[in-house]
Amino acid sequence: MWDYTEKVKDHFLNPRNVGEVENPDGIGEVGSLACGDALRLSIKLDEKKRIREAKFKTFGCASAIASSSALTEIIKGMTLEEAEKVTNQDIANYLGGLPEEKMHCSVMGREALQTAIANFRGQEVTKEDYEIVCKCFGVTDKDIERAIKENDLRTVEQVTYYTKAGGGCAQCHPKIEAIIERMRKEMEKESPPPKPDKRKLTNIQKIKLIEETLGREIVPALKADGGDIDLIDVDGSKVYVALRGKCSFCPSSEFTLKQYVESKLKEFVSDDIVVEEVKP
């Protein structure tokens, strides 16, 4: 059985905004019966061009229905410019996370939204140069590139979870691998270090991420001032550290901890992190 969050279950059992908006300003249809899931999103704008109404109809599994329901709740009241920026990760986060194998449901939501906005603007969804990479599910190189970029994907399996590409006959796996390799290189060039994602972390992921962040963002700066920091323990959102070297008797160590260490950890690990110092 899938490990769905309570929020996913709630949005599946009591979906919000089911149906079709009357005289819609934009409609976005993605997926198909053959693919196993499909979503029809319809939106209505008010005079200020904000989304007044958003409704959906979905054929698919529990997470597809929950993602659609979440999407409509998220975008209500947004301007189109704001709505355009909604990512699949926002949808997954709204639901408290989705099993990785089901992330394609959130991607479907984002695609339907893009299509509906384009439909309102009277554009065809950008059909510039693309190549169908996965013939089984009709996934283009552009779709795959976007999913890799927005979700920091690294393996073919992950690409399949997020886009379905490669989930059928598997013949396109070498092509997907090549796209991943190219995108990873591009992404590293664009934004070193990689922007961490703030999905719900397991304890092990959290500790690893704290260690990485300390090592990359904090230790070099402290060392430059003749100090250092050690991670002692992590208990839920509390991070216990010990200041070493010059930092340990620095009068502004309290400031260093709160303003510098804690804010970096909040930025890169989790918003609710509280740093406490362990005195030797």
Find the catalytic residue in 61, 105, 172, 247: 105
Of the chain, the end-to-end C-alpha distance in Å amounts to 47
Task: For residue 250, give the amino acid letter.
Answer: C
Under 8 Å CB-to-CB from 12, ≥6 apart: which residues?
A: 4, 62, 63, 65, 66, 69
Distance from chain centroid for Cα 59 = 23
DSSP state of 79: B
Nearer to other proteins, 35 or 148 (CB): 35
For residue 11, state whether it binds other proteins (rule: CB under 8 A).
Answer: no
Residues with Cβ within 8 Å of 161's Cβ and at least 6 positions away in sequence, in order, are: 100, 101, 102, 103, 104
225 Cβ contact partners less than 8 Å away, ≥ 6 residues apart = 246, 247
| Shortest reach from residue 1's CB to other proteins, in Å | 8
For the CB of residue 107, give the shortest distance to other proteins in the complex, in Å: 13
In whole angstroms, the minimum distance from the beta carbon of 63 to other proteins comes to 8
Residue pair 227/243 in contact (Cβ under 8 Å)? The answer is yes
Is residue 264 at the binding interface for other proteins, with CB under 8 A as the rule? no
Tell me if 160 contacts other proteins by CB under 8 A: yes
Query: Closer CB to other proteins, residue 34 or residue 224?
Result: 34
Name which of 133 and 241 has its Cβ closer to other proteins: 133
Work out whether 177 is an interface residue with other proteins (CB under 8 A). Answer: no
Distance from C-alpha of 30 to C-alpha of 83, rounded to nearest angstrom: 17
The answer to the question of residue 57 lying near other proteins (CB under 8 A) is yes
According to CB under 8 A, which residues from 16 to 45 bind other proteins?
18, 29, 33-40
Cβ closer to other proteins: 69 or 114?
Answer: 69
Of the two residues 63 and 89, which places its CB atom closer to other proteins in the complex?
63
Name the minimum Å distance from CB 97 to other proteins.
Answer: 16
Out of 45, 61, 78, 250, the residue judged to bind other proteins by CB under 8 A: 61
Alpha helices in the chain (DSSP H): 6-13, 62-75, 80-84, 88-94, 103-120, 141-151, 156-163, 173-190, 203-213, 219-224, 253-255, 263-268
Q: Is 35 a catalytic residue?
A: yes
Report the distance separating Cα 161 and Cα 104, nearest Å: 6
CB 41 within 8 A of CB 27: yes
Binding-site size for other proteins (CB under 8 A) equals: 30
Decide if 247 is catalytic.
Answer: no
The reply on whether position 101 binds other proteins by CB under 8 A is: yes
Pick the stretch among 59-67, 74-82, 83-91, 262-270 that binds other proteins (CB under 8 A).
Answer: 59-67
Both tokens assigned to 136: 């089984």
- Residue 252 is encoded by which pair of tokens? 């502004």
Which residues sit at the interface with other proteins, rule CB under 8 A?
12-13, 15, 18, 29, 33-40, 57-65, 101-102, 136-137, 160, 164, 167-168
Catalytic residue list: 35, 105
